[in-house]
Chain A
Amino acid sequence: MVKRWIALLLSAAAACALTVGCQSSGSRGINAGESKTGENSSGAAESSEADNSVVIAMDPNSEPAAGFDPAYGWGAGEHVHEPLIQSTLTVTNTDLTIGYDLATDYSVSEDGLTWTVTIRDDVKFTDGEPLTASDVAFTYNTVKESSSVNDFTMLDLAEAEDDTTVVFHMNRPFSIWPYTMAVVGIVPEHAYDSATYGANPIGSGRYILKQWDRGQQVILEANPDYYGEAPQMEQVTILFMEEDASFLAAQAGQVDLAYTSAAYSDQTIDGYELASYATVDNRGFNLPAVPESTDEKGRTVGNDFTSDVLVRRAINIGVDRQEMIDNVLNGYGTPAYSICDQLPWYNEASEVEYNPEEAAELLDEAGWIMGDDGVREKDGVKAEMNLLYSTGDSVRQALAADFANQMGELGIACTIEGVGWDTAYDRALSEPLLWGWGAHTPMELYNIYHTIEGTGSAQYSPYSNETVDSYMDQALASSDLEESYSLWQQAQWDGTTGVTQDGDIPWIWLVNVDHLYWVRDNLKVAEQKIHPHGHGWSIVNNVDQWSWE
């Protein structure tokens, strides 16, 4: 009887929440959803198959604030993904090597300062104009001028040599340029106005933007003149909704694929399967590698406890990553040992075994002796850390809490504190912050480990190692992409120094968070390449190859 009452109460609550969810996702989106549900009652698979369309629920943060303009972060922003509406010169394959989209070939000069790319001659923008090398040059020069979200300072100038050849003149060698070419969508020179392009993009990609209701939904339609294989999904509707609304939308059968998180993974929805995709969407702490001081801006930089390399090594092997995955991610994750696990430039020497005994020995060796209260001490100073996480992110909060508990067992007293991103960057200079990284470019290694000129320290957490710097500089200067991979690997560990356990270990990596989705049973999602950070557009990178069974 009690159970029945609870069930009744719950269904009432669910119904309320559902109406709220519907309202927030807007009338048009829901009309589409409802008609689909209606059809479903007469036979789900047939109706969906007949119209070859798919409805996807995505996180509201994924909606591009400045529209679908590559110059303002579409595709080439903080979270990289394929721009869909525009074509790119190259693409990243499922194994993250480089393939071709518009390009037919590329080469780089011996000194690494000139890239020459030849492109197809049969490509048309959706307004009927042909896409030529001058559009490509225009795009890159525009992006360099106006992109605030991505770094294009290595590019000096792009110019079109003839209709199908474009030449990039670089300021400095940048061997991983093909990875940049994989995310910059090409815009038409004749129809580009930075004020309006974002809302009315014209491209040459697989899809055309048919409709965009800000804050609600995006409808993409297959480009009938696409030069490549025609998209199998003719219409893609993306609804932006919060996590709970996304769950309810799947429960109500209104979407075909809905993003979700580990918090929902113990639920089941009739007619849907929980799909989990591997990622390099990692989470890790920076451990400031220099002793505490105050810099010229008055910020505290460095941390007396974590500046001891033995302490950092002890932390790295003293944390049970699998326990974290089981506790916090409900099993949906993989242990992370670097910022780039399983990518071509990953060095397997990063991997460590969980070994609390050795961790305790390291701490003893460093002089941090267990006190009577279970907290280690050295010269009267307690072994303490204040762990920061971005407030409102429940997964990071739980990871930080679990990490704090595990550190407590090692004799390191931890407190956790939620902070906003307005103060997090400054505070991370002296305290460990739980970060999320992971991208399809080795540039991330450079961003977090390479010393910034003039400051003597890396950007996000105080650390500097000349050898590591020089490997990365060589990697960027290399004229051969394959060869540069091994240099990136050496930057992580070359046998004597690096950023791994036996090296300086200025960051410790905890887990890669699997991306979870509710997928309608007969929807066949094409093989995903390893997802980068950001639980958003990556999933639809190959939506053109999805199909209904």
Chain B
Amino acid sequence: MKTAGRMNRRQSTLIFLVCAAGVLAVVMIMGIALEDAALETDFSRTNLAPCPEYLFGTDWMGRDMFVRTLAGLSLSIRIGILTAAVSAVMALLLGTAAAMLGSRADAVISWVIDLVMGIPHILLVMLISIACGRGFAGVVAGVSLSHWPSLARVIRGEVLQLKQAPYILAAEKLGASRIANVRRHMIPHLLPQFLTGTILLFPHAILHEASVTFLGFGLSSEQPAIGVILSESMQYLTTGRWWLALFPGLCLVAVVILFALLGERARMLLDPSSVHE
């Protein structure tokens, strides 16, 4: 029995979810608002160590690293959202199609999934990014078009399994139409897997966006992106400007962890087997 004063696990998880989503939303919105400020250079304040005025210090062109980091994280989160959306739609369509449209469609789609998964992620992101003309569009296309296969595979597996489930077979025998079957019996079962999978795409997408810009295949160097910030800061580590890499790096890790926890907690809430714990 829980005492009246303490929240149960479900409540605390819900509160955590709201807080985490709130933090990420605030970072994203602040980043958008500060985009112009992040490009601003001021040579009267170069190479300042972190101080109350510039929390993360400034770089060799006098750019405020705090603002730049926020703008970079915001960009990462937006790319993450876009990637997750594109991947989720593709995964849902292809996954269900593979499972529902018969063995030939299944073979084709499974082959495509294997093909895309067979190419190392970072390489694929780079290839698509270059093919799409680099820059912002290139990175977005590269990251969002390369992350769907794993989710698609999960969905396909689930749907295949569900098709053989006794209650679905029973519903079919009772004359429920295919559409009604999918809507009433399958989607409620798929939803937790699907949502969790989608949220867990974020950390991947963000890390890949950061690495591809770090390697110089993405945004050009005046853009505020975490990868760009980190690759620039490498040059200055030897001269002792640790703040250029440390804070943006920590923030990136924090955002990624936040998303991962978000996905984990969301799963706990949505998954029937753990929802009442």
Contact = CB atoms under 8 A, between A and B. Distances in A.
B238 interface: yes
A295 B239 CA distance: 48
Given A394-B60, A397-B221, A397-B222, A405 B234 contact: no
Size category of the B interface is 20 to 34
Interface in B206-264: 216, 220-222, 232, 234-240, 242
Nearest to B43: A327
Given A392-B216, A405-B43, A397 B242 contact: no
Interface string A303-317: 000000000000000
B18 interface: no
Given A394-B232, A417-B222, A247 B239 contact: yes
Nearest to A327: B43
A13 B43 contact: no
A391 B221 contact: yes
A243 B237 CA distance: 12
A401 B63 CA distance: 11
A13 B220 contact: no
A487 interface: no
Contacts of B242: 6, 9-10, 13
Interface in A232-287: 243-244, 247-248, 263-264, 266-267
A264 B42 CA distance: 19
B61 A398 contact: yes
A392 B238 CA distance: 18
Contacts of A392: 216, 221
B41 interface: yes
A419 interface: yes
A264 B222 contact: no
A417 B221 CA distance: 8
A14 interface: yes
Contacts of A405: 41-43
B161 to A, nearest CB: 48
A17 B237 contact: yes
Contacts of A419: 220
Interface in A101-121: none
Contacts of B237: 13, 17, 244
Nearest to A400: B222
Interface in A382-410: 391-392, 394, 397-398, 401-402, 404-405
Given A13-B237, A244-B238, 17 more contacts: A6-B242, A10-B240, A263-B239, A264-B239, A327-B43, A391-B220, A392-B221, A394-B60, A394-B235, A398-B41, A398-B60, A401-B41, A401-B61, A402-B43, A417-B222, A418-B220, A418-B222
14 contacts: A243-B235, A244-B238, A263-B60, A327-B43, A327-B46, A328-B43, A397-B221, A397-B222, A398-B60, A402-B61, A404-B41, A405-B42, A417-B222, A419-B220
